[in-house]
Amino acid sequence: MESQAQRVKIAVQKSGRLTEHSIDLLQRCGLKITRSKDSLFCYGENMPVDLLLVRDDDIPQLVADDICDMGICGLNIVEETRLKLAASGTNALFKQVFELDFGHCRLALAGPKGTHFDGPDSLKNKRIATSYTNLLRNYLKLNSISAEIVYFSGAVEITPQLGKADFVCDLVSTGSTLAANGLVEVATLLESEAIIIQTQAPLGDAKQGLVDRLLQRLDGVLQVRESKYIMLHAPRHALLEIQALLPGAEAPTVLPLEGTDDRVAVHAVCRETVFWETLENLKAAGASSLLVLPVEKMLA
C-alpha cells in the first residue's frame, strides 16, 4: 500500500453550496469514497486519492501551503486569497486548472434603491461593506477611487439598513437576497464559478501521473455533460448541409444504408446541447430516423 505522502489530497468544501457538486464530480471520475457525517477526511477506496473536507475560505491556502495537492472552490475565494497573499508580498503557489461549470455567481456592488450611481466615481468617500476586502480594494485602486472598506464576515446585505454602510459588495446569484433587502446591483467586480486548483510544488512522478489521470477524467466528465451522440439517416447530397447543422460536432461517421443508393447513416458526437429546433432543422434538410443518445464517458 502507498504511504500517506504518495496519496493525492484534494480539499473540498465540507458543508455548503459546493459540497455535493464537488463530490459528485470526483465520484464521476471513478473515485469511490467512504464519507462519515462529521469526518473531515474521506478515504479513497479504489484510488490513492483522499478528500479533506474544510471551509471553502481555507481551500486556496491549503493548496498554496502544499498541505493539499488540489482543491475545488469558487474563483471568488481563489482571487481573494491570491490578492491577500500578494498584499503580504507572497506569490500564491497554486495554479488554476479547470472551470467546473457549477457554483456560478458574481461579486457585485449594490446600493439602496434610488442610490445615485453613474460609475466608480460615485463610490468616492463612501462606506462599502464586504467580506471581500482584497477584491474590493483592488477594484477601487484600478479605478483610482478612495472609499472606506468596512469588513463584515456575513449578513453584509443588511448593513445599509443599519446605517453601517452606503454600498455593499457581495456575492449574488439570483439577486433575490439583494431585492429582499431593498438593494439594487450597480456594478460587477468578478464573474465566478467553481474551479479546481493545483499546487505548484513538484509532486514526483507517481503522484503527478495520478493527478494527470484524474484531470484527464475530469475533462472527460465535463465534456460529456452537454455531449450527445446523434444518429440519423440522410440523402448523401444533403450531407454538407446536415454536417453544418450538427452543434459542436467533429467529422461525423457516414455509413452506407443497405438497399438504398443515395441514403446514408450519419453518427456524430455533438459537444453542445441538441435542441428540438436543431432536430427540426435537420429534418427540414432531409434527415430522418433521428436519435439523440446521452454520452456516459469520453476519453480524448
From Zn ion, ligand PRT, none, which one binds at residue 17 (CB under 5 to 8 Å depending on kind)? ligand PRT
Report which of 256, 255, 246, 253 is spatially closest to residue 292, judged by C-alpha positions. Answer: 246
Shortest gap between Cβ of 56 and Zn ion (angstroms)? 4
Residue 125 binds: one of Zn ion, ligand PRT, none (C-beta under 5 to 8 A by kind): none
Interface with Zn ion, residue 57, by CB under 5 A: yes
174 touching ligand PRT, by CB under 6 A: yes
Rg of the chain taking only CA atoms, in angstroms: 25
Residues 119-178 that bind Zn ion (CB under 5 A): none
Binder of ligand PRT out of 30, 43, 48, 57 (CB under 6 A): 57
Binds 177, which of Zn ion, ligand PRT, none (CB < 5 to 8 A, cut-off by type)?
A: ligand PRT
Task: Decide if 92 contacts 161 (C-beta within 8 A).
Answer: no
Residue that has been written with the C-alpha cell 484531470 in this structure:
215
Q: Is the dihedral of CA 223, 105, 185, 177 positive or negative?
A: positive
- Residue 134 near ligand PRT by CB under 6 A: no
One DSSP character per residue, 129-151 reads: EES-HHHHHHHHHHTT---EEEE
Cβ-contact 63, 197 below 8 angstroms: yes
Taking the least distance from each CB to Zn ion, the nearer of 56 and 79 is: 56
Rounded-to-5 percentages of helix, strand, coil across the chain: 35, 30, 35
| Distance of closest approach, residue 131 Cβ to ligand PRT, in angstroms | 8
What whole-number distance in Å separates Cα of residue 158 and Cα of residue 67?
Answer: 36
Query: Is residue 18 part of the contact set for ligand PRT (CB under 6 A)?
Result: yes
Q: How far apart, in whole angstroms, are the C-alpha atoms of residue 189 and residue 133?
A: 12
Q: In degrees to the nearest 10, what's the CA dihedral of 173, 175, 178, 182?
A: 180
Among residue numbers 64 through 93, which ones bind ligand PRT (CB under 6 A)?
Answer: 74, 76-77
The reply on whether position 16 binds ligand PRT by CB under 6 A is yes
Applying CB under 5 A, the span of 36-44, 54-62, 183-191, 210-218 interacting with Zn ion comes to 54-62
Identify which of residues 151 and 275 has a Cβ nearer to ligand PRT in the complex.
151
Binding site for Zn ion (CB under 5 A): 56-57
Binding site for ligand PRT (CB under 6 A): 13, 16-18, 55-57, 74, 76-77, 103, 105, 170-177, 192
